[in-house]
Structure 1
Amino acid sequence: MARDPAAETYGMSADALTGWIRAAQRRAALDIALVWSPLALIAGAGGWRLGGTVWATVLLLLGAAVVAMAAARAAGRFDQHWLVRRLDARETGLEDSAGLIFVDAGLNPIQRLQRERIERRIAAIDPEMLADGWSRRRIAIAWAVGTVIVAAILLWPQPRPAPPPLAPAAEGTDAAPGEPRLTGQRVRIVPPAYTGLPPRYSDRLDIRAPTGSRIEWTLAFAPQPSGAALQLVGGQRLPLVVGDEGWVGSLRLDRPALYRVTATGMRGTPQPHRLEPIADTPPQVRAIEPAQGLVLVRPGQRSWRVVFEASDDYAVAPTARLTVTVTQGDGENVRFSERSLIVRGAGTAKRKRFTADLNLAAYGLQEGGDLVAQITIADTRSPQPHIVRGPGVILRWPPKAAELADGLDMMSKRVMPAYFRSQRQIIIDTEALVRERRTLSAEAFLEKSDAIGVDQRLLRLRYGQFVGMEAEETPKPPLPIAETAPPPSDAEPVRKAPFALPSGHSMDDGHNHAPPPEAPVFGSLGDVTAEFGHTHDDSEAATLLDPDTRAMLKLALDQMWQAELNLRSGKPEAALPFENKALDYIKKIQQAERIYLPRVGAQLPPVDMARRMTGKREGIASRSASLTRFAIDDAIPAEAWRTLAGPGRPDLDALDRWIRGNSARIRDPLAVLAAVDAARNAPDSAVARTRLRAQLWTVLTRPPAQIRRRSDGGSLGQRYTKGLR
């Protein structure tokens, strides 16, 4: 089918002119939107002020819908007829013939010639000249006025809700005529900003609020006194001033206390009320992924994901510090490299999860090394947030299995036991504790130092197995750290030893020695010690060290003992020199190429035949345990408790000071202070003394378990014992 050139020209011109119409529509819609958008913002700000976020969102969406409708209506005025009128009005060269562009085919030759002339002239017209101009003045005025109105709405002081009326007082005391008495009470509690809790009112005078809260009292008396105050039991006096509704006063709640409401002219002793702060607890951290504390590298693994979850009673800090430690080497020759990165949490304010994907190649993890990830979490407490180090998770790349030599080297072990790994870590923990001393309380510092001392003790006991030292705890099965020595061959002669027990042992010493053989047979004495002696160590669990190495290991044990003593006493600075000396000795021990294993049991000292079976015990140390007197640390409350049992009067001032200084370890210190105050106000009251004595019983340290005397068996047992004598 043949193409019509006229139709092609018409189609191209019509499409271009339609684009001119759409551009004009967009400009008109945008112009209307810019003029009326401040009204939508004003509506949203008003809704936020009146009803909060929900109302602000609803009104803002409604305003935006109205502006969009107005913009669409303004854009609808621009169509084909508008374009024809605008072209004929602004361009005289078109000779009022712009409408021919949009006319269908069927024009006569004169009209078609005229349209071609119009198309050439329209092509030289700038489309921007046809659209309406911007309403700059209206836009500027609208946004200026809208900004002022929105700022006024947001910054206008929000009306404070009217406080509730004063609640009737419930002091429970009778007042004489003309004596002031408490008639109304109201307490406003303003928690610290970091808690995110709103202020609240209470109609009770017993107050329990977060630590650092501001407590505001409003009290009313009848008749009106000349002065009023809040008297802290054993502490300061807080004067009250006259306000619009009564006597007002405020106090910051930092420590537990008892207080009384007093007024000038008030006789008697009002009942005390409690001021109990709620301490902000540290965040709780747990490892989510991996579920186990120690995982092994999978074949082909390139990254490792760790996920920790933290929860707090108020809010967890949005970011945390993840410490990644990579170890290289083995034994005490381990090298450490440490890096830290910031991880952002996801979740609610009280519970967040921190996720990190660790690139193993970037951290330099190699075969035989460990990658340890540990997170440090903080809460939002101000000014001193709680900082907690979470549990550590370990990704281990196991080393290749050690190979044993042939021949005589089968008796040697070329790899040191896993025990020889942790002395350096104890030094690192001790140095970290010394650096954290200023940030820890005395009790927390002593607790951490004691924990490191326990680790040093366990390590010392493990090292002691290699020199035959007996365990200080319940015996455990021997650890397989040595290979079994081969039995003697037939070519090796076996010498018979005379029947004798080692020094310090007898047939009735409780060690279950086997009776001597009646007729020894050649080749049946494979282990003389196991048959006749008493071994304190398994021959397969102890190593036969050369004398120099054995002596050096004993020196290391002595240094560990001194380090443990100082750590358990809360003196990590004094323990560091001993820890370092022990580490030096261990490094020297590691320089030995091999640790040989024993073929037989321990070599026992010879038996003194002249002394054996004579009953002489000179020079033998006593094995009986000595009892030490239990020293009571709580001497002041213990003395007061004993005094209250009789007619005497305890030192209540010293007891009050002791309770305030040890309130952290007492379950309910305010109850004990209330009992002390009652006993002070009524020293001769038997009820007050009994109540105080009962409260002191909960404060005293529980004595250790006592040694029970063995039963004498009653009258029958006594007659039997008497007959034996």
Structure 2
Amino acid sequence: MNQVESIHILQHIRRQYVQAKLWLYALQAMAAMVLGVAILLRWQWEVPVLAAAAFAIILAAIVYLVVRWRRISKTNLQQVARHLNRQYPQLEDSTTLLLYEPKNLLERLQQQKIAGILHELHPEKQKTFTLRGTPSYLLLGLAIAASIGILYLPAAPLEAFNEPAPIKVDFPDTPAAVADTAVKIEQVEILVTPPAYTGKQPYSAMDPNLRIEEGATVTWNVRTDKPPHQLQLEINEQKPLPFTGDSKSYTLSRSFTSPALYTINLNGQKSAFYTLEIIPDNAPVIQIQQPEQYTEVLFGEPQRVKLRAQLTDEYGIREASMIATVAKGTGEAVKFREEKIKLNLSGNRRSYSINQTLDLQKLGMTYGDELYFYLQAWDNHRGYTRSETYFVEIEDTTIVEAAFDMSMGVNPVPEYFRSQRQIIIDTEKLLKEQKSISRAAFEARSNNLGVDQKLLRLRYGKFLGEEFESGIGPGGGIPEGEEGHEEEDHFPGDGHDHEEFADNNSPEALLDPYMHKHDQEGEATIFEPAVKAKLKGALAQMWEAELRLRTHKPKEALPYEYKALRMLKEVQQSQRAYVAKTGFEAPPLKEPELRLSGELDKITAPSDRRVIEQKEKLPHIQAALQWLAKYKQTGSYKPADAQLLEKAGQELAQQALNKPGQNLRTLQDLRQLITEINSGKKLCSPCLTTVERAWAELLPAPKITPQPQKTVRSQLAKKYLKQLEE
């Protein structure tokens, strides 16, 4: 057998495998399509949900078949050869040699051997593979059976999908003797119309226990088999409300803003108790993420504030705004201006996001002004929410906060903020106009600013004892502990003698600790050491700014100017001095005259007394419990006892309003007991147990009073005590 015949055998096996696999997938897809077609033929377009599901099943089956066909069609001869190697050990894992031309004598001999073995096995005449998985014929049969059931079995599918289940109203008090001839309720429909603020459409209730929106209108439509003599709706055991209508159809509508319990009274027979819960309308929620509750805009920063907030409400927000109040001035000259700012709302009706920037300059604010603002929102009903008040202040560097006052000491700090601030303003103006002026004019203005900075530095240096310019510079302006100079800067005799060259025995050295030297900056005594260090640091920053202004680098000098201004303000704040005010001194008490005198005639006991009468809680339930205990002993009752149970039931219904649904079973058992008393029957024992347990839980816990302990002795102890007495 040659190589060509062997390749034909492999191709034949591949075709068998592909055809079998495709037939398997076709059966699976056919099962799904049969089921989808049956659903579509049974309900057609009358039920859109089922029609869409049927089309989805058919489309999924087609896609499944196409994907599987594309995957199985990629099977090649190498995969078939590997399958034969696994299926037949006689091939010695050499079937793939039949697909290539032999390169040497050994491969040719092995190829001839494998071709002979493959010819002897005759794989082309038998199935050489087994398909695993769920039997496709069984799956198709189940699908056909389900389709037949869908098409021919009797059912009422449309009503199951399109109409809700009828509401059933129970009448547990109806006597069995008159149950067949009594008027019956055939159908009860409850339509709930939500209020306008919710934006919801009217809907039908599925259960007599209702949970409605606050202010919703509930409409009961009742249809009976016969015209009743009396049809009423009783809410919270109060005065019944009659239904209106004629013949056999009756209607009653009412709006509710608080929870309730209701029953339907048909010809004197009351139905079971049903709950009516209220979904409250919550106020809008305001969440402000930015800015912080107190924000200070420092000098040199942009006078803008970023506002980010979130407004949410379950039924929608009708209006939202921001109320901003600008405070200008200080002391008695302060003025307020209130402004309503429109918010940039983005989002849906129930949730809005606020993301906008407040420009303080557009609000007319300047240095030292304050802004107070809050957000407020209204929902579609009566809900209103106001956020907390947020504060924004622009730093004012032109006002000395520690001003002179009659109750304070004299503040020695002069007004030195205006000049440094003016240098900063002129520097920023120069940088802004740099491109519009010549290079020479730019350098001249920068040098003039350096001169102004020098004059200002000399002015503040006087407060540190720098009365001569010789001691002014980086060394004189750096805070204590940071000054330094190079070794080659000074030599003995140049006015900067070092410790190793000083004569400690000279008269000047001996008098040096006791002398006040105005011409040395280290001996200035106006400020405390900590304040003096801060002022020295400010002078150092002025020196660095002057250096860069003189070298025509105003942009590099600007940070040092700001830092110098900041340090000067810290000096100002730390230099407040306070003195105590003259207070009131009370006259001394006459203790020696009154102490230990023993005179108590003017001391009387308090006579103000109030008697608080505690109102008895749940008196009718307590009386009903006493009646119940008496009934357990005697087993008899009177027809008038039904009135007592009615009043106890009203108190129980009022308590049940706080937790709707908790005591419904108790109210129904109580209603059955009242019916049995009116008809003279034996009372239901389980009903008595349920009612007694519910009443006992509602009553407050009894007060614990101390009880005298009774001594219990045995007979032997009594005889022993008697012998002792004799």
State whether TM-score is above 0.5: no
Q: Specify which structure has the higher proportion of helix.
A: 2
TM-score, normalised relative to structure 1:
0.39
* Higher gyration radius (CA): 2
